[in-house]
Structure 1
């Protein structure tokens, strides 16, 4: 089992041009998530919801991995089977950077799923309100992302890994989204060393043993280089 768990949030993709959610210029400062990111919103106005996610899907496909994504992929290649990469992001920048087996706890924009039978398939560039599930033919196709009021994916597996890890690192997360924000507490109780890498310290910075402040595209490659050289010490 992986002994090092790395959790990434919107901040790591912000430097690739993708907006975050909760900062003053983030998505939820410009849009009401209750109108766009809930099962009720989809039931009420599927066309509006699909249009919003079509735009986000296009933006994600146009974005490119930045040095932070590339550094984490390098770490995974250098330490196979030792690093579990977990992301709150719904883009595929980790995969395009070369990372493998990243667990997307909030789902993926490049996948669609049925709102009835839960079948998943690759999402087309644009999805429409009347699209149907190719498996059951009756359910509506929706973005395979986790909306408000829904349970994050892979959470049991991630929590189990945190309970056994010796290092837990959070990169570019606001620390305000639960239950994911509580993973550091699980790791700390297990005796793991805990590190936050963020542009600015998050609201949960006090829960970490060490906080490295600065842009992810700078701080993450620096940290990975130190780890690979055996020079990173808390």
Structure 2
């Protein structure tokens, strides 16, 4: 089978003439911002598989432990800065009227890069949102407090790179914190607040998915951008196939060469860091970008 195209100039011509564009982004988009992958170095967090902490049952069993894990992730996300890839996508969204970006990332970097809210869907929620575990409907959106409450301050500490944060050392006990001292719902007064992310065993927001499906079904899609994700987890993975069925040319940006599998000769594959490649790909529409993400 012939390989996908790799010409930046050819893609620029395609982008200039394209109308409807769908993008799907994953952890690779935020890699240049210095954020670790979900599993972290070595695949463990304090000898826990992080996926074992990302469930409603884990929160019921030990809400303090789960909150410490997410408070640490919040701290890293708030310390991080959007990279040129985030800014390039945000600028493209501003330039193209019929553009929709679906992100699997929960780090809040795309909104902080100025990506128009109407053209961004947070498939897996946000670390910066807190919502009632009792599902009373209360949501505290875009909470930038770090720590999220005084009791979780150990998760927001910084140590020199040669030292290990005590919270991350499995040989150091998790700080003793009472359940009454972690965030509680101010609305129903009875429930705990929890991170506003989609946990394992939970469904994605049905109303949001309906909106996305309606957008996809409206008319032809010209380009399907797949950035920094293997697109292997459903329902997100299904959008590549749906877009192709609507006529889209699939464009993959990923450092992993295996990500080109399944692409056809009409598609594009750009191997490398999204923060370096996206500004080049979009230059004909958004203009030249400096090293800080500013348009020159």
Q: TM-score if structure 2 supplies the norm length?
A: 0.69
* 1:113 pairs with one of 131, 148, 155: 131
Q: 1:31: Cα distance to partner?
A: 4.2
Aligned residue pairs: how many? 227
Distance apart, 1:156 and its partner CA: 2.3
Contact 2:185 2:193 in 1 (8 A): yes
CA distance in 2, matches of 1:95, 1:63: 13
| Equivalent residue in structure 2 for 1:155, among 193, 209, 223 | 209
Q: Which residue, 95, 98, 103 being the options, matches 1:87?
A: 103
Contact 2:227 2:274 in 1 (8 A): yes
Q: What's the offset of the Cα at 1:48?
A: 0.7
**Structure 1, unpaired ranges of 5+:** 230-234
Give how far 1:13 is off.
Answer: 0.5
Q: CA separation in 1, counterparts of 2:246 and 2:278?
A: 24
Runs of at least 5 residues in structure 2 that lack an aligned partner in the other structure? 1-18, 153-178, 288-296
Give a deviation string over 1:10-67, Cα, whole Å, max 9, x none.
Answer: 1111110111236985668x74134310111111111110000000001000001111
| Structure 2 residue aligned with 1:36 | 53
CA drift of 1:70 comes to: 1.1
What CA distance in whole angstroms lies between the structure 2 residues aligned with 1:220 and 1:31?
35
Q: 1:184 to 1:207 in 2, by over 3 A?
A: farther
Asked if the contact 2:127–2:196 (Cα under 8 Å) also holds between the matched residues in 1, the reply is yes
Q: Which has the higher strand share?
A: 1
8 Å CA contact 1:196, 1:205 repeated in 2? no
Tell me the TM-score normalized by structure 1: 0.86
With over 3 angstroms needed to count, the CA separation of the structure-2 counterparts of 1:15 and 1:179, relative to structure 1, is same
Question: Equivalences for 1:60-75 in 2 at 5 Å?
Answer: 60-75=77-92
The answer to whether 1:140 aligns with 2:192 is yes
Alignment partner of 2:237: what SS?
helix
Q: 1:232: which partner in 2?
A: none
Instruction: Report 1:1-234 matches (<5 A).
Output: 3-21=20-38, 31-79=48-96, 81-101=97-117, 102-116=120-134, 117-122=136-141, 123=143, 124-125=145-146, 126-127=148-149, 129-130=179-180, 131-153=183-205, 154-163=208-217, 164=219, 165-202=221-258, 205-207=261-263, 209-226=267-284
Greater Cα offset, 56-65 or 153-162: 153-162
How far is 1:204 from its partner? Answer: 7.2
Q: CA–CA distance in 2 between the matches of 1:206 and 1:22? A: 27
Q: Secondary structure at the match of 1:180?
A: coil
When Rg is computed on C-alpha atoms for both structures, the one with the higher figure is: 2
1:179-221 Cα shifts (integer Å, max 9, x gaps): 2111101111111121111111455741562221111111111
* Separation of aligned partners in 2, 1:120 and 1:10: 25
The answer as to whether partners of 1:205 and 1:211 remain within 8 angstroms in 2 is no
Report the 3-state secondary structure (helix = DSSP H, G, I; strand = E; otherwise coil) of the residue aligned with 1:161: helix
Q: Label 1:104 to 1:44 Cα distance change in 2 as closer, same or farther (>3 A).
A: same
Question: Structure 1: how far apart are the matches of 2:216 and 2:41?
Answer: 31
The 10-residue stretch of structure 1 (66-75 or 153-162) with the greater mean CA deviation from structure 2: 153-162
Do 2:106 and 2:127's aligned partners in 1 also have CA atoms closer than 8 Å?
yes
